[in-house]
Amino acid sequence: MRVHVLNGVNLDILGQRDPEMYGDVSLQDLETQIYGWARDFGLQVRCRQTNHEGEYVEWLHDAYDGADALVLNPAAWTHYSWAIRDAVEPFPGPIVEVHISNIDDREEWRRQTVLSGLAHTRIIGRGIEGYRDALEVLLGLR
């Protein structure tokens, strides 16, 4: 199974931005963990991160033919980017939405997700382990 893991805005500063909320692991360390978990599970993974919404949308378009499943953390775009929702909607495979923090226990505006109804599973508040959980969910759907 080919899985694209797409991380959004500000995740490039993991480990620097509010470590009490997001932990002290860098994006590079997170991606290394994801690749290791994927190897253990027999999954092919491609990790990407961008701070540019249009680029994120392009990667979603690329996934239509290049991926069997998606693990998405659009970060702040989760709460308002209808462009991202529209780009995710036609994706034919399973989608797992991941958030490092528990967005349901944060500000009211963070509790809204444009991916509602599109994601097979939503994993929140598990830190980077949420990505491992997401891969396990996809492994179970294989």
Query: What one-character DSSP code corresponds to residue 84?
Result: H
Contact, 22 vs 89, CB < 8 A? Answer: no
**In the annotation, is 79 catalytic?**
no
Outline where the chain has alpha helix (H): 19-22, 27-41, 53-66, 82-88, 129-141
**In the annotation, is 22 catalytic?**
yes
**Among the listed residues 90, 35, 10, the one whose alpha carbon sits nearest the alpha carbon of residue 57:** 90
Q: Which of 4, 56, 99, 131 is catalytic?
A: 99
**Among the listed residues 129, 125, 134, 114, the one whose alpha carbon sits nearest the alpha carbon of residue 21:** 125
For the record, the structure tokens of 126 come out as: 């598990």
For the record, the structure tokens of 5 come out as: 């893991």
Q: Which of 22, 64, 79, 131 is catalytic?
A: 22
Q: Which sequence positions are flagged as catalytic? A: 22, 99
